[in-house]
Structures are given as C-alpha cells and as structure tokens.
Structure 1
Amino acid sequence: MPVTLTLVTLAEILPIRQAVLRPGKTIEHCYFDMDQDKETVHLGLYDNNNLAGIATLVKNQHPQLAKNAYQLRGMAVLKDFQNKQYGQKLLTKATDLAAEKNADLLWMNARESALKFYQKSDFNILGNAFEIPEIGTHFVMYKHLTDEA
C-alpha cells in the first residue's frame, strides 16, 4: 500500500478540511487567511492514489515566539485513514519543510483533543486555552527548529 506525500492545490484540500475540520459547514467556511499567499504550501498524503490527509504551512510570525516562523494550519486525516500514523507523517513533512525554508519555529493553534499528539513530537504549549467560535478549545503550540528561536 504505497503512501506518498506531495504538494497539492488549495482546491484539492478543501473537501478534506470540510469533512474533518468543518463538518456540516459550507465549503466557504473552509478557506483560511493566507491560503493563497505565495509562501503558503499545501501538503497532501495519498494512500493508493486516494487523498487521505492534508496540512497547510503558512509563513506567519508569532508575536511572542519568533518572527521567522511558519504556522501549521488545517492538518486533517480522513476518518477511514486514521490510526495509520498518517498524521505523524504529515507533521514530520511539514516540520521538515519549515526547516528547509529556514524557519526558526513551527507553531499552530491545536485543538485540545490533539495536544498529546503534538507533544509526542516535542511541541510545547504556550499560554492558556482559548475558544475558536463554533470550532472549540485550542492551545498555541510550538517547536523550535533552530537554536536561534
């Protein structure tokens, strides 16, 4: 069962964002700020030619952490493909890509249910929980990619 990671288009990832991250919402609710910036990268994980997981990397500083940073957004794996380490593969690839782009830091607004997943990959929590309306409880999480961050 070949698994591949590749760059994909925004149009390709929107249905998975909708299914996993915004169920019951219209596709218009699945667009994120900076989705179409020239520095933004959309990743797709394919399982036997089926797009099974996605993640977006956005060049976006964090005011408390680092100016030279990328933000991980919209990481999701379709339900039928979960529990296969696909999320870990996406996270590793996203981290590697941010490092290749000479970012000092990778950060995200992580859902409360995903904290342990990110902590296993050495991401740290910054501050207190906050609510994203209609989405749920989140925490800022980060990982330094260089010693200078």
Structure 2
Amino acid sequence: MEKIHIEQIRPDLTWRIRHMAMYPELPYQTIKLENDHDGLHFGLFAGDQLVSVVSLFNEETVYQFRKFATIPEFQGRGYGSLLLQHLINYVSPLGASMLWCNARSTAITFYAKFGFSETEDRFSKTGLEFVIMQLQLNN
C-alpha cells in the first residue's frame, strides 16, 4: 500500500496536473490563475508522486477552492475525497464561515457527500456547465 500524504505546495506545481485533468485540449497557459500567488495550494502525494491538487483563496471568513484536479489515471481512488476533507479540516479552525466552489455539474453528487449544497447560481464556460456549491461552517 502506497503512503498517502497531503502538503502545501508552490502554485507552479499545480499547473501540470490542472492541465492534464481539466483542459488538456487547451493551451497550457489557460490553467494558470492570475491570482495563483495569492492562494494556498495543496497537493496529495501517492508515494512520491503528486497526483491531486487544489488551490484555496479567501476573503475574510469565506473560502473558495479552485482548480481541484486529479491526474486522470488516478481518479476514482478516493484521492479527491481525501483532499477535499483536508480542505474542510484546514479552514474550519481558521473560523471559516463558508467554503465554496464552482462545481462542474457532473460533480454535484461528489460535493453533496461532503455536505455542500447547490445554489441557484449556474453558468457555462468552455462548453461545460457549472453550479456554485457551498458548505456552511462554524454557524
């Protein structure tokens, strides 16, 4: 059994995995966020290999995670669940009131398992449907 661990990583370490998992058909530059250097970035390592990443941004007590991605051949192994639970556990003691994301409509049930609820806010981008999902914390 490979050792799994999660640690904070540099923003540039997220880019390759974002590109592979999210938008492999688009130019590499499209997966970079202009505020990447303002966020916190977490990576899940399976053994020595970085396989899943997520980026976290906040405004006061409201936290948004973006570019949550797992290398395609490592999807379905529970790594994303471990990384999302890590985020929830990370922001809760910081006094977070809410954790939210722009979820692909295909991922609604995944986020619902963690207590996220759908909002009325939906939009399309790059041919994909999204819904804003949020988790109330520390109420």
- TM-score interval w.r.t. the shorter chain? over 0.9
SS in 2 for 1:25: coil
The answer for unaligned runs of 5 or more in structure 2 is: none
Name the Cα RMSD after superposition: 1.3
Runs (4 or more) in structure 1 with deviation over 2 Å come to none
Other-structure match for 2:5: 4
Matches for 1:9-88 after TM superposition, within 5 Å = 9-37=10-38, 40-60=39-59, 68-88=61-81
Q: Number of aligned pairs?
A: 138
The answer for unaligned runs of 5 or more in structure 1 is: 61-66
Q: Deviations over 1:102-146 (max 9, x none)?
A: 2110000000111000001110001042112x1510000000111
What's the TM-score, normalizing by structure 2? 0.94
Q: Which amino acid aligns with 1:20?
A: A
Q: Which amino acid aligns with 1:139?
A: V
Identity value in percent: 25
Q: Please, which moves more after superposition, 115-124 or 26-35? A: 26-35
> Structure 1's 33 and 126: CA in aligned 2 closer, same or farther, altered over 3 A?
farther
Q: Which amino acid aligns with 2:37?
A: Q
Distance 2:34 2:66 in 1: 10
Distance 2:111 2:52 in 1: 16
What's the TM-score, normalizing by structure 1? 0.88
When you count strand as a share of all residues, which structure comes out higher?
Answer: 2
SS in 1 for 2:37: coil
Other-structure match for 2:132: 140
Q: Deviations over 1:37-60 (max 9, x none)?
A: 1xx210000011001000111114
